[in-house]
Structure formats: structure tokens, C-alpha cells
Amino acid sequence: MRLRNVPGAREVMVENEYVFTEPEGMKGTWHEVFGNDNPVRIEIGMGKGRFISTLAAQNPNINYVGIEKYSSVLLRAVEKQEELQLPNLRFIRMDAENICEVFGAGEVDRIYLNFSDPWPKDRHAKRRLTSRQFFARYNVILKQDGQVEFKTDNKDLFDFSVEEVTEASIACCVKQEIHGDYAINTYISMDLDTAISFATRYVHEQFHSYDEYVQASLEDFVNLQNGLFIVNVSNTSNTELTLGAPEHITVSPIQFSGRTLHIPVLYTFGTIDFYMERVSIKE
């Protein structure tokens, strides 16, 4: 279906107080945006906003963020919100591929996917909101017991989504601790297909399944990067640091206890999430 362009819609989005059109860098700030510590729930591909506006009106103690790519579609929801002026409802005009730049690790309580675009062509599978690539992003921003609620009337998309959520639940993660004048936990995390592709490129050897050689390649990569890091830190600040042994962990999502920097890196073959968790700093 071709979307009808509404003249002036983009300008309305830029000027409206309920809409963020350049939200990158806002992760970790949503409780400040709403002025409370209530749960944050998001709808991706919210369309004209009837679903999320109704939820926001019914649940004043929950914060809602609606995400829509097209200004002409989002305009109707914005007009309705100007009438309702619900304090717990905001909108973002953006492509959901960048969602990890907008919400921090564990910042979202629930994600709604309602009658999403099925993207029927096989070459567009990664664009589907229930692809394993998107589930990897959701896994980052959802809290430990967070949920994804999915509705569709498209059987092909439903079958695809069931397969993808099974694959997405299987992930690999390598952790390495850095000790000394301060303590940091470092992690890299990705789905299995991405791990296989990454290891193939890293050691220049073709892998076809996830095995001990792929795992060893990931551990070697983490150890090498952290080794370079502590050498550079030692040379520039006279700081003493040592590395622990890399270890494979299976907890999903990763549980962080300290302040954590998250850097998602999108390659052509998948997304790799890098984390640095601050544990302690000696005075």
C-alpha cells in the first residue's frame, strides 16, 4: 500500500512537544523525560496511535512511547494527543533499526508489535520486526523479565516469527574481567549465526556451525582487544590492570550490577553488542 503524503506533517513533528524526531542519544534518560520511575513500554510501528493512546489513558502509572517511521501516519496520533494531553505518552519518528541508540540496556518493560509490515519478499526478511536481528535489539533494551507482545493476521509472518524467536533465544556471550586500580567487566554478545560469521572473518577460516572453535575465536578476540586496552591505559595514566580469563556465559539477557556502557555494532552479517560494566574504582 502506498502511503499518502500529508503536506506539512514533517514540520508538525519537528515542532510538537510530544514528538522526538532526533532521539539518538536519549537512552537512559526516559525516566527524566517523564519525570517519574514508572515502567516504560513501547509500541513499534504504531500507525495512527489508537492502541497506544488507549493504553496510556487507561494506565496513568505506566509510561508509553510510540514509534512510527512515517510523519504522515504519525500525524493523526499527534493530533489526538494534543486533545488528550496525556502526560505518560510520547512519540518518536524514527526507523526502529536504531532502537538501541534510543533506549538503554534494561530500560524498557514491554514491547508491542501490532500487525507489523510482513515484508513478504525473502530479501527483506531482516526488516521484519520479528526477525532475529530485531529480537537481538529487543534483548538489549528489555529488562530481565520484559516481554514482547506480538499480534498479526498474516500467517506467513506468524510462522516466520515463531521460527525466529526460537533462534533469537539462543545467543552466545563472552565475558572477561579487568582487575587492578579499577574493575571492569567486558562482554560481547550476539546470536549464533552472527557468531559463526564473525569467527569466520576473524580467523579467515570457514565455519558452518557454532562449536568450540568459534567460541575460542570469540574469546581470543576479546582477550586481544582488552589486552590492547590495558596496555594503552598503562602507558598513558600509569594505571595497573590485569586480565582475567575469558569465559562463555549463557545468561540471557545479561545481568548488570554496575553502570554499563553499551555499544551495538551493526555488520552486514548481524549485530554484535559490546558492553563495559564498571564494577569498582580505587580511590
Tens digits of residue pLDDT in 83-101: 999 999 999 999 998 898 8
How high is the pLDDT of residue 143? 85
pLDDT at 155 over 90: yes
Residues recognised as catalytic: 117
Backbone angles phi, psi at 226, to 5 degrees: -70, -30
**Mean pLDDT within 158-173:** 78
How high is the pLDDT of residue 279? 86
Confidence of residue 138 (pLDDT cuts 50, 70, 90): confident
pLDDT at 112 over 70: yes
For residue 248, list its beta bridge partners: 174
**Mean pLDDT within 99-124:** 92
**Mean pLDDT within 154-173:** 81
Per residue in 192-231, pLDDT (tens digit) is 788 889 999 999 999 987 778 888 999 999 999 999 999 9
How high is the pLDDT of residue 2? 42
Report the mean per-residue pLDDT for the chain: 87
Per residue in 66-86, pLDDT (tens digit) is 999 988 889 889 999 999 999
CA-closest candidate to residue 218, choices 243, 241, 242, 201: 201
How high is the pLDDT of residue 114? 96
